[in-house]
Amino acid sequence: MTMVFSRDLIAFIMCTITVCGFVVNSDGITYDPEASISANQLGLMKIIKHFKSCTKVTCGNFEEIAKMSHVVHKNQNDINLLVNVVKDTSMSMMESITQLTAAVRQNTEDIGQLKTVVQQHQADVSQLSRQATRNQEDIGLMTSAIKEAFLNNHQLVKENQGLMKENQELFKEVAKRTKEDNNQLTRSINMMVQRNQDDIHKLTTFLQPQAVGEQDEHRVVERASPHLENRLPDHGDNVFHREELADCSSEYFELGGQCFRAYISNTVSWEAGRRICRQEGAELAQPRNLRQLAIHLSRNIRETWYWLGGQGDGTHARWISGELLSSDTPWASREPGDQVSTSQCLDLRASHNYPISGPLYANDCSGTSYVLCECSGSCARENNP
């Protein structure tokens, strides 16, 4: 027997059945497994209730209802399986999402660290750039300094070459004059020897008939000696004169008829050196032969510097006795000579060899040298009674 369904029942059934786990209603199709199960159960109960109120129910209707109930239960089992699959899938998706979130978070941290490193590198690059700029500036300054030093050195080389040329010319001139002086000295000595030989011959001729004994011969020689000494030529600083012997004490040495004493324990200023000499009744030395004195000091005492008794008056150099130095004073090369200030004092450089310049210098009185004292007159006699 066929069961007749009303229009409202068909509409109700169509609104409550599910298709593959989706709920069909007036709002559209949405996926909610639990809601679909509840809706199907609720719909089934409503269908059963509706059929119970139906007056035209037959056995065929109940068979259809049983079939529909079976289909509903089968759909419910399928839905349960689908729900489990969806739950497993949801859990897997949640784990994947969690892992992905953790990976994103780690990537974010890595990006932050990388950003910090990049910023540090940028700061380092900026600092290196500034340092490179400073280095370039320093290189520029050094290049300028080197160029300036090179130009200065080049100028000094030119000046030194000029000085060397002047020294060579001076040396040639001095060598020429020395050669001329030596030739003149040789001629003078030869003439002197010849004259002395003639005088000795005359003296011998004179003494032969009159010599009566050794004592008479000595007296004749003594009478003739002054005559022979006057024959010796005067060559200034070029030769050593026969000098009168001075009466010097044991602390002094005699040279050229003057008594000198060198103090070489320590160097002092010119004023201090003068006080040292005056303490023993002497005075700073005023030698007559500077070259001979310099050679004697260098050979017998010490080759060094010695204060002498002279200083400048603003224009000329004077001995402390007030006497001006002579025009032929053997000044050293490039020394002032006739332009000596009051702050300059005479300083003797003792050396045994002066091929070009003399031994006399005008140095600052406040400088230090050794001291050369001269004792004369009563001073020498007091020290050597």
CATH code of residue 316: 3.10.100.10
What is the reported pTM?
0.39
CA distance 96 to 104: 12
Q: Does residue 261 belong to any structural domain of this protein?
A: yes
CA distance 308 to 331: 13
Q: Residue 27: how many CA atoms within 13 Å on its side-chain side?
A: 5
Q: How many CB atoms lie within 10 A of CB 88?
A: 10
DSSP 121: H
> What are the residues whose beta carbons fall under 8 Å from the beta carbon of 20, sequence distance 6 or more?
82
Query: pLDDT tens string for the chain (385 positions)?
Result: 444 545 555 555 554 444 444 454 555 545 565 555 565 566 656 666 655 565 454 556 667 778 888 888 888 888 889 888 888 888 888 888 999 999 999 999 999 999 999 999 899 998 888 888 888 888 988 888 888 888 888 888 888 887 888 778 777 777 777 777 777 777 777 667 666 766 676 666 655 554 444 444 444 444 444 444 444 444 344 333 334 456 788 899 999 999 999 999 999 999 999 999 999 899 999 999 999 999 999 999 999 999 999 998 888 899 999 999 988 889 887 776 567 888 999 999 998 665 557 899 999 999 999 999 999 765 655 555 4
pLDDT of residue 35: 58
pLDDT of residue 7: 56
Q: Does residue 355 belong to any structural domain of this protein?
A: yes
Q: How many CB atoms lie within 10 A of CB 24?
A: 16
Q: Does residue 358 belong to any structural domain of this protein?
A: yes
Q: Does residue 199 belong to any structural domain of this protein?
A: no
Nearest Cα neighbor of 373 from 306, 292, 314, 295 is 306
Name the strand (E) or helix (H) holding 265.
strand 258-268
Nearest Cα neighbor of 288 from 260, 256, 313 is 256
pLDDT of residue 8: 55
Handedness of CA 49, 50, 53, 59 (dihedral sign): negative
| Token output for 33 | 């497994």
At 305, phi and psi to the nearest 5? Answer: -105, 145
Q: Does residue 150 belong to any structural domain of this protein?
A: no
Question: Please, are residues 216 and 210 in contact by the beta-carbon 8 Å criterion?
Answer: yes
Q: What letters, b where the CB count within 10 A reaches 16 and e where it falls short, cover 109-122? A: eeeeeeeeeeeeee
CA distance 184 to 233: 11
Q: Does residue 254 belong to any structural domain of this protein?
A: yes
Nearest Cα neighbor of 261 from 287, 241, 291 is 287
Range of the domain at 323: 244-383
DSSP 237: G
CA distance 224 to 172: 44
Question: Please, are residues 56 and 6 in contact by the beta-carbon 8 Å criterion?
Answer: no
Query: DSSP assignment of 305-359, as one string?
Result: EEEEEEEE-SSSEEETTSPBPPTT--BPTT--SS---TTEEEEEE--S--SSS-S
Give the Å distances, CA to CA, from 181 to 135, 167, 192, 327: 66, 20, 16, 18
Domain count, the chain: 2
Q: Does residue 272 belong to any structural domain of this protein?
A: yes
Q: Which of 104, 138, 163 is the C-terminal boundary of a domain?
A: 104
Q: Does residue 337 belong to any structural domain of this protein?
A: yes
Q: What letters, b where the CB count within 10 A reaches 16 and e where it falls short, cover 50-85? A: ebeeeeeeeeebeeebeeeeeebeebbeebeebeee
Question: Please, are residues 311 and 302 in contact by the beta-carbon 8 Å criterion?
Answer: no
pLDDT of residue 168: 80
The residue with tokens 């300083």 is: 347
Q: How many CB atoms lie within 10 A of CB 198?
A: 10
| Token output for 318 | 């004077």
Question: H helices of the chain, where?
Answer: 7-16, 33-52, 59-207, 214-229, 270-279, 290-300, 378-383
Residue 34, Cα to own-chain centre: how many angstroms? 91
Q: Which of 84, 104, 124 is the C-terminal boundary of a domain?
A: 104
The residue with tokens 């004994």 is: 213
Q: Which of 104, 127, 161 is the C-terminal boundary of a domain?
A: 104
CA distance 203 to 175: 40
Phi and psi based region of residue 28 (left: phi greater than 0; alpha: psi -120 to 50; beta: remaining): left
